[in-house]
Structure 1
Amino acid sequence: MEQEIDVRAADGAMNTFVVHPDEGAPWGCVVVLMDAPGVRDSLRDIARRIATVGYLVALPNLYYRLGRDVTVGPTRDHPEAETNRARLAVLVRSLPRPGVATDVGHLLEHLGERFPVAPGRAAVVGYCMSGAFALLAAARDPARIACAASYYGTRLVGEGAESPHRRIAAYPGEVYLAFAEHDEYAPPDVVAAVSHALATGRARYRVEVYAGTHHGFAFVDRGTFDRPASERHFERLFALLRRHLDARP
């Protein structure tokens, strides 16, 4: 079953796509955070697939501060690519990192009040720009978020204690991070810095680089889509979710 709901978030009503099985409640809850181009059919399809294995999945519009249906067209090999890239940069800059983590908290509260979800059995999954958001949300709320995953996450490494790679190192749950082998937004030095921080922290973790892939490999609507890598991303994600969200004795 699927529907769109409005969640009272930090700065207004955050429209959110929700999909869940017909039976089997209470469900573990998975929050899927969009990449920079915004919520669209390919992301809804990812949410639907996750729901088929037994979870309630919520896909919020993180651009709700700007509108209910904010998306960006192709940024490569298209007549409007340059315009779209400029618009994308403006949209990404509009998102306050602390605000997104707070929005995830409001979303989990709302889902717990409205749907039969299991307390303490939530996961956050982020793609591209939202890899950092997923890690920060988990680090902020470990009592509710049991695990987190980042796929070809960007801006994971920065200065100061609030950098995502430092915040997640102190997280008591489990994190999974997958990177593309060829990714200008997450080069090898970023992967090394994230791996080092996790190795010296308390989080249970796994970091993988998918050989031969490029940024966006999991999205069927991207020119860099790689079906074997996309299937591998689901395989790793489902294993993580089973470990933390399935019914506990």
Structure 2
Amino acid sequence: MAGKSAIRSQIRGLGGYRKAASFHSGRLAVDEQPDSPQHTAAGISAELLIAHASQDDSMPREQITPFGKGPRRTAQVHHTSVVYPNTRDGFTMRDTPVFDQVAYDRHLTDLLGVLCRAFPSAAR
């Protein structure tokens, strides 16, 4: 599921998920769009991991900060918004020229952390 779709499903209360992760999502905090996730985050009840490339034209840094404030302000949801340094959008995809092994490994570690918190007995 695309990252933006995962976040929107949490906003709408679909699926009953306790955790959601978003990598490579763009346009999450667009002031002029009333349905932009940072405006509608009050419905989020899951822990979120939202990860961004440091160089992503669809998610410039000025959009990362407002979204990071939205869920905490409106839903008091536990979330992490992280920027992976020196990466371009698509850094986790091995078949692209922007693939970054270090960032890929970190994203797996971060994602595994979310999954272990969702399924603590499986993490043992």
TM-score category (smaller protein): 0.7 to 0.9
Q: How far 1:166 sits from its partner (Å)?
A: 2.9
Measure the CA separation in 2 of the matches of 1:170 and 1:209: 24
Deviation per CA, 1:9-33: give whole Å up to 9, x if none. Answer: xxxxxxxxxxxxxxxxxxxxxxxx1
The aligned runs of 1:105-184 (5 Å cut-off) are 130-141=2-13, 144-158=16-30, 159-160=33-34, 162-184=35-57
Quick check: 1:193 aligned with 2:69?
Answer: no
Q: Whose Rg is larger? A: 1
Measure the CA separation in 2 of the matches of 1:191 and 1:157: 7
TM-score, scaled to structure 2? 0.85
Aligned to 2:84: 210
Q: Check 1:241–1:167 CA distance in 2 against 1; reply closer, same or farther (3 A cut).
A: farther
Q: How far 1:192 sits from its partner (Å)?
A: 1.2
Percent same amino acid at aligned positions?
A: 25
Q: Check 1:228–1:143 CA distance in 2 against 1; reply closer, same or farther (3 A cut).
A: same
The aligned runs of 1:95-110 (5 Å cut-off) are none
Query: Which amino acid in the other structure matches residue 4 of structure 2?
Result: A
Aligned to 2:113: 239
Helix, strand or coil at the partner of 1:166: coil
Paired positions, count: 119
The aligned runs of 1:42-121 (5 Å cut-off) are none
Contact 2:23 2:52 in 1 (8 A): yes
Q: How far 1:131 sits from its partner (Å)?
A: 1.7
Aligned alpha-carbon RMSD (Å):
1.9
Query: Which amino acid in the other structure matches residue 240 of structure 1?
Result: V
Query: Which amino acid in the other structure matches residue 196 of structure 1?
Result: K
Helix, strand or coil at the partner of 1:179: strand
Contact 2:68 2:81 in 1 (8 A): yes
Measure the CA separation in 2 of the matches of 1:226 and 1:243: 26
- Gap runs ≥5 in structure 2: none
Measure the CA separation in 2 of the matches of 1:221 and 1:167: 34
- Gap runs ≥5 in structure 1: 1-32, 34-129
Measure the CA separation in 1 of the matches of 2:42 and 2:106: 24
Measure the CA separation in 2 of the matches of 1:213 and 1:131: 17
Which protein, 1 or 2, shows the higher relative CO under an 8 Å CA cutoff with sep ≥ 6?
2
Aligned to 1:118: none
Structure with more of its chain in strand, by fraction: 1
Measure the CA separation in 2 of the matches of 1:207 and 1:242: 18
Contact 1:142 1:172 in 2 (8 A): no
Q: Check 1:213–1:238 CA distance in 2 against 1; reply closer, same or farther (3 A cut).
A: same
Q: How far 1:238 sits from its partner (Å)?
A: 0.7
Measure the CA separation in 2 of the matches of 1:238 and 1:144: 19
Q: How far 1:193 sits from its partner (Å)?
A: 1.4
